[in-house]
Structure 1
Amino acid sequence: MSLKHVMEVYDLMDDINVTGDTIKGYLATINQQGTINVQTISGDKGKTDFIKVLIPGKNGKSKQGTAPTLGIIGRLGGIGARPEMNGFVSDGDGALASMSAAAKLLDMVNKGDQLEGDIILTTHICPDAPTQPHDPVPFMDSPVDIMTMNQYEVDEAMDAILSIDTTKGNQIINHRGFAITPTVKEGYILKVSEDLLHVYSQSVGKLPVTMPITTQDITPYGNDVYHINSILQPSVATDKPVVGVAVTTETAVAGCGTGASRVTDVEEVVRYCLEVAKLYGQSKCAFYNEKEFKHLESLYGKMTHLQTLAN
């Protein structure tokens, strides 16, 4: 159960003066074993603080071990849209979930439950991000572009990635809670991982919910095609498998809307990611079938051109 950590992180993030160092300081009070880095990056529309948390595993690569490393990315435009909107915005759920997961993992180490593999958690903290028009509801914009986000949030040490993103501003997924996407790897949309579905049903206690994605969604921003949101943008910056964990609602909710974050839904996401992390480090949770992927490429060739802006 990680509700306590979600509520504590939410209270810190729901503040016009919050910075990456605010979150770093909070995490450091829980446990000093994690490595926490904060970098302030400026863009055309403001600045934001990127934060990266490395939590070593018992047999993690940071200790020259052999266990695989899971990446958990909190993807968003910003946690606030001030001065246009007052308070924490719906778009901030990705940052809230990833840093709450970091807090819970550090607390688990205190209690003797260190995981097998390393976990790298990244996001960025911006309480005054801009907004932009989008149909059916307004999108949150960001002070920096997607390429910059990928540069600071996608780490080459990640062997697989869970990308958490608020995905409420659409008419495609009509479920309150969260949903997972098919696995995306090197331009291919692969089948939904059965292992990840099993973890969903175990941790939530309900049938798993999946979110449909399209070829457009796995191409880079900036190519003038429709994207449901940025949930799968990490997949354009890595050759590792990426799965989106979408925080969802029954109705279309604007990313810049306030009062729309449900801590219980975010807690479910955190708990899900933690359960995946436990199994992934033990090589008991596969994001995709490696043999089948090689067969696909032998039949149809590389699809990595979909990871680029092309012509």
Structure 2
Amino acid sequence: MLKHVLDVVELLDDPKVTGAAVVAYLDEVAGETGLASSTTVPGDNKGTTDFVQVRIPGAQGRAGGGDAPTLGVVGRLGGVGARPEVIGFVSDGDGAAAAIATAAKLLSMRARGDVLPGDVVISTHVCPDAPTRPHDPVPFMDSPVGIATMNAHEVTDDMDAVLSIDTTKGNRVINHKGLALSPTVRQGWVLRVADRLGTLLETVTGEPLVTYPVTTQDITPYGNGVYHINSILQPATATDAPVVGLAIVAATAVPGCATGASHEIDIAAAARFAVEVAKEFGARELAFHDQAEFDHLLARYGSLAHLQTMGTAPTEAR
């Protein structure tokens, strides 16, 4: 996996990198074309970004007429670079690097004959000159496009569960270097941490499970005027499927627009975790949440799906 990560970071650390270049790299790894695609989307006076999506058919996946569940892997970020403000690959790009490395590994496995049971859909976007914006305690990367546009291009209706990978270093809440796993979020509910996902993360990292607090604010859509730790759980606002955030974290607060702050070993661990999750999810050997428990919560307390919306605008004082 580390080889794929090194290749991907080298590819993304280029002021002229495009989604088409990423697709060409993935096609070469796969030994075939047609599994990866790129779409250029203009922003609101902030340039463009290229959305990259890879669909990897499974042996019993829906792409081939089977019924195995489909895993979605989303590499969440604002941009892989913040030129001309800073030169080089920024910390915020780790989510894209992890997602693309995951795709490269799964495509390589498929080319060799190691085909997973279920389909895997991997989405992210590539922008080498994204803007930045103020955020406490350190500056955030912004993006040429809004969160709703990202979700529209990165979250698909056929995803039965979503693993969202994002750099989550711009805070003083997670004081740990490596990876941290969020509780499962579904339709406005913050559920307990999935046991099997936690066990897999421990297996992949060789360290005890690290999780982090998720607030109600964090799972509401961007743009509603409240603080969010970052965009790692924004996919949960665009799907009814369960979503888990895999955070690439640091022991100190690191700006998303910082260069020289990406740790390839941590990116590789995130990608290895995504591959292991894909293996077991497609084989129905793990679930992102307890369905019966979720149904019980809904029956007892009702839906919280309104938290997936922008809500009601506050009435102005007269």
- 2:2 alignment partner in structure 1: 3
Q: Is the alpha carbon distance of 1:182 and 1:34 closer, same or farther for their aligned partners in structure 2, counting shifts above 3 Å? A: farther
Measure the CA separation in 2 of the matches of 1:187 and 1:196: 20
- 2:315 alignment partner in structure 1: none
Correspondences of 1:42-61 after superposition (within 5 Å):
42-44=42-44, 45-61=46-62
| 1:41 aligned counterpart, secondary structure | strand
Measure the CA separation in 2 of the matches of 1:130 and 1:181: 27
- Any conservation in 2 of the 1:34–1:106 contact (CA below 8 Å)? no
Measure the CA separation in 2 of the matches of 1:117 and 1:182: 23
Measure the CA separation in 2 of the matches of 1:254 and 1:237: 27
Deviation at 1:18, TM superposition (A): 0.2
- 1:199 alignment partner in structure 2: 200
Measure the CA separation in 1 of the matches of 2:61 and 2:33: 13
| 1:170 aligned counterpart, secondary structure | coil
- Any conservation in 2 of the 1:132–1:139 contact (CA below 8 Å)? yes
Measure the CA separation in 2 of the matches of 1:291 and 1:192: 15
| 1:211 aligned counterpart, secondary structure | coil
- 1:175 alignment partner in structure 2: 176
- Any conservation in 2 of the 1:90–1:166 contact (CA below 8 Å)? yes
The aligned amino acid for 2:172 is Q
Q: Is the alpha carbon distance of 1:181 and 1:34 closer, same or farther for their aligned partners in structure 2, counting shifts above 3 Å? A: farther
Q: Which runs of 4+ in 1 moved over 3 A?
A: none
- Any conservation in 2 of the 1:34–1:55 contact (CA below 8 Å)? no
Deviation at 1:212, TM superposition (A): 1.0
Measure the CA separation in 2 of the matches of 1:217 and 1:180: 14
| 2:245 aligned counterpart, secondary structure | strand
- 1:84 alignment partner in structure 2: 85
- 1:262 alignment partner in structure 2: 263
Q: Is the alpha carbon distance of 1:112 and 1:18 closer, same or farther for their aligned partners in structure 2, counting shifts above 3 Å? A: same
- 1:12 alignment partner in structure 2: 11
- 2:316 alignment partner in structure 1: none
The aligned amino acid for 2:4 is H
Correspondences of 1:1-311 after superposition (within 5 Å):
2-31=1-30, 32=32, 35-44=35-44, 45-311=46-312
Q: How many residues align?
A: 310
| CA RMSD in angstroms, aligned pairs only | 0.7
Deviation at 1:206, TM superposition (A): 1.2
- Any conservation in 2 of the 1:34–1:56 contact (CA below 8 Å)? no
Q: TM-score, normalised by structure 2?
A: 0.97
Measure the CA separation in 2 of the matches of 1:122 and 1:67: 20
The aligned amino acid for 2:217 is Q
Measure the CA separation in 2 of the matches of 1:200 and 1:92: 21
| 1:280 aligned counterpart, secondary structure | helix
**Any idea what the Cα deviations from partners look like across 1:97-130, whole Å, max 9, x if unmatched?**
0000000001111222110000000000000000
Measure the CA separation in 2 of the matches of 1:140 and 1:70: 27
Deviation at 1:10, TM superposition (A): 0.5
| 1:244 aligned counterpart, secondary structure | strand
Measure the CA separation in 1 of the matches of 2:198 and 2:272: 14
Measure the CA separation in 2 of the matches of 1:154 and 1:289: 22
Identical positions, percent: 56
Deviation at 1:50, TM superposition (A): 0.3
Measure the CA separation in 2 of the matches of 1:206 and 1:33: 38
